[in-house]
Chain A
C-alpha cells in the first residue's frame, strides 16, 4: 500500500447528511492505493477511486441505515454524485481516480417536500 494519502472534501446534502452525524461537510484522507476488491489485501492494487470511497464512507463515516446510502456496491439509485461540481456520469462514475484536494458531493434526490 502507498504511504501517501489523498485528502478530499466530502459533502452530503438533500437529506443524506442525516445519515452522517447530521454534518454536511467532512474532511477525509484515503490511501492513494487500495486493493481492487474492497477489504481484500490479497487482490491486486489500484489507485483509490470513487467506488472505493463509497465503501470507505460507509465503513468510516456512515452512522445509520446503510440501505439508504448503498445498494449493489454503489450508491443507491436517486443519489447524485458530483466530482468538483461535475456530474460523475461525465467523469467515469465509480472508476474516477481520486486526486488530492478533490471535492466529492453526494446529494439525495429522494426527500420530498
Chain B
C-alpha cells in the first residue's frame, strides 16, 4: 500500500487509523486530538494509579496538560495495595518509578492496614472463585478513603471506552439497573463521596496502548494471578470480536448505555442511599458491602457477604461480637484536613 497522508494536517504520513472515526492520522495529530479530548478542572486531584497502561497514560497526560495549559491542578498518585504477592508488589514498583518520573506525591493505602486482610489471606480462606467480589468492593472504598486522607476533591481513574462498554454489557446482562445508570457517567458525585471521573471514557484501548508505545511510557502488564474476573473476561472477548468487525461498536454500546431510560415505577423500587451504621461509608443497606464481607471473613463465614444463604447462616449465629474487627469510621471529604504520610520519593 502506498503511504497515506494524515487526514487532519494533510502534510505528514499517516501512522495510525483512529478506531473511533476511521481517520488515518499522523503521530503528531494523534497526540493533539488525543490530548485535547480530556477535561479541564482546577483543584487537588488524585490519580488512581495501578502501574498499568491506563493509569500510567492518565498520569502522564494529566501532568502534561496541567503544565501545558496551566490548569493549576495539584496532582497526586493514589495506589491501592491489595496485597497480592507477585502481582501488585511488582506493579507498585512501576508506580514508584512513575512518582519519580512525573514528580508527583504518592500515597499507597493497603487492604491490610484498612481491613486487616490482604488479598493473599482472603484467597487462602475463600478460594479463587469469589475473590474478585472482595477485591472490587474493597478497592472502591479504599480509593475513597485514600482520597479523603489526601484531602483531594477529585479522583480520576484510567477507565477507557472498552472498560465502560464492558461494564454496560455486564450490567445489562445482570439486570443491574442502579449501576447501569451510573456506569456511563464521566463524572459521579454522591453527597459525601469524593467526585470521581473517567477522563478516558471515550478513549479506545487501542489509543491508550499506541500513546504509551509512541511515548515510550513505563507501564506494567501482567494479568492478576487470582483468576481474572471470569464474567468480565467473557464480556471483554465478545467486545474485542465486535470491535474487529466494526470499530465503532464500542462507542455505540456506551451510547446505548447512556440512552437507557428506566421507568419511574422501577426507579421507585431502587434502594435509597444511606450511610453504613458501622463504618459511615455510603451504603444501600444498614451495613455496607465491605463491612458485610469483612464480618464474614472475621467470623470464618466468608460466604455471608456473597450469597443470601451465607447471610442467613451468619445471622442465625447471632449478632456480631463486640470485639469484631471493623473498618475505621469514614471521614467524609473536607479539604485541608490532610495530614498523612506520603511515600518517600
Contact = CB atoms under 8 A, between A and B. Distances in A.
B205 to A, nearest CB: 5
Interface in A70-113: 76-78, 80, 82, 85-87, 89-92, 96, 105, 107-113
A92 B1 CA distance: 6
A13 interface: yes
Interface residues of B, number: 35
Given A14-B53, A15-B221, A108-B221, A90 B4 contact: yes
Nearest to B233: A110
Contact of B221 (A13, A78, A85): A13
A83 to B, nearest CB: 10
Contacts of A85: 15, 214
Contact of B223 (A82, A91, A111): A111
Contacts of B205: 78, 109
A98 B54 CA distance: 32
B54 A113 contact: yes
A97 B17 CA distance: 19
Contact of A15 (B54, B158, B223): B223
B224 A80 contact: no
Q: In the complex, which range does the number of interface residues on chain A fall in? A: 20 to 34
A15 B223 CA distance: 8
A18 interface: yes
Interface stretch (B146-154, B235-243, B288-296, B297-305): B235-243
B267 interface: no
Contacts of B97: none
Given A90-B1, A110-B240, A82 B213 contact: yes
A112 B4 contact: no
B210 interface: yes
A111 B209 CA distance: 11
Given A107-B213, A112-B228, A113-B54, A18 B244 contact: no
A2 to B, nearest CB: 23
A110 B54 CA distance: 11
B50 A113 contact: yes
A87 B210 contact: yes
B206 interface: yes
B334 interface: no
B4 A14 contact: no
B47 to A, nearest CB: 12
Interface string B275-290: 0000000000000000
B16 interface: yes
Contacts of A14: 53, 209, 221
B210 to A, nearest CB: 7
A77 B241 contact: yes
B50 A80 contact: no
A92 B4 CA distance: 12
Given A13-B221, A77-B240, A90 B210 contact: no
Interface string B133-153: 000000000000000000000
Given A112-B52, A113-B50, A80 B15 contact: no
Given A14-B221, A80-B206, A90-B15, A113 B52 contact: yes
Nearest to B51: A113
Contacts of B248: none
Interface in B8-33: 14-17, 24
Nearest to B13: A86
**3 shortest interchain CB distances as A-B pairs:** A113-B52, A113-B50, A77-B240
Interface of B: 1, 4, 14-17, 24, 50-55, 91, 158, 162, 205-206, 208-210, 213-214, 220-224, 228, 236-237, 240-241, 243-244
8 contacts: A13-B221, A14-B221, A80-B206, A80-B209, A87-B15, A107-B213, A113-B52, A113-B53
